[in-house]
């Protein structure tokens, strides 16, 4: 069932849409795959957060290094992971919207 028929429109799809949407969908899938690979590598490179909860029990204050974690390499890797996760979510939603608009059946 096409997306347009859900809206009550009986119009046919324009020829440029039927030619370009498969290429756009393939591009979105490739971008999702690249984002997944970058995210996997970033997760494997990032160090584990060990001993983070011990400060709450002992009452020790945070060091300068932990307060400014976003400005060093660990913070950049964490930001990269968050950006890739958001990009994967947006591209996945985009792909399925495109799939609903143009399904080859």
Confidence of residue 3 (pLDDT cuts 50, 70, 90): low
What is the domain count for the chain?
Answer: 1
pLDDT at 99: 82
Residue 35: how many other CB atoms lie within 10 Å: 20
- For residues 70 and 82, give the distance between their C-alpha atoms in angstroms, rounded to a whole number: 13
What's the length of the chain? 105
List helix spans (H) across 1-105: 3-6, 15-45, 54-58, 64-67, 73-101
Q: Which of the four pLDDT bands, split at 50, 70 and 90, describes residue 18?
A: confident
Three-state secondary-structure class, residue 27? helix
Confidence of residue 104 (pLDDT cuts 50, 70, 90): low
Residue 31 clears pLDDT 80, i.e. is over it: yes
Is residue 84 a part of any domain in this protein?
yes
Residue 60 placed within a domain = no
Tell me if 71 is assigned to some domain. Answer: yes
Residues ≥6 apart with Cβ < 8 Å to 80: 38, 39, 42
Note down the domain range covering 87.
Answer: 3-10+17-45+65-101
Percent of the chain whose predicted confidence (pLDDT) is above 70: 63
Look at residue 92 and tell me whether its pLDDT is greater than 90.
Answer: yes
Asked if 99 and 3 touch (Cβ cutoff 8 Å), the reply is: no
Averaged pLDDT, 68-94: 87
């Amino acid at each position: 069932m096409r997306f347009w028929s859900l809206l009550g429109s009986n119009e046919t799809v324009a020829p440029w849409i039927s030619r370009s949407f498969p290429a756009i969908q393939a591009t979105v899938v490739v971008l999702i795959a690249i984002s997944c690979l970058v995210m996997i590598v970033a997760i494997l490179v990032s160090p584990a957060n060990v001993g983070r909860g011990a400060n709450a029990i002992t009452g020790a204050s945070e060091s300068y290094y932990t307060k400014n974690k976003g400005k060093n390499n660990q913070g950049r890797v964490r930001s990269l992971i968050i950006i890739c996760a958001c990009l994967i979510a947006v591209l996945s939603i985009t792909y399925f919207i495109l799939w609903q608009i143009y399904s080859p059946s």
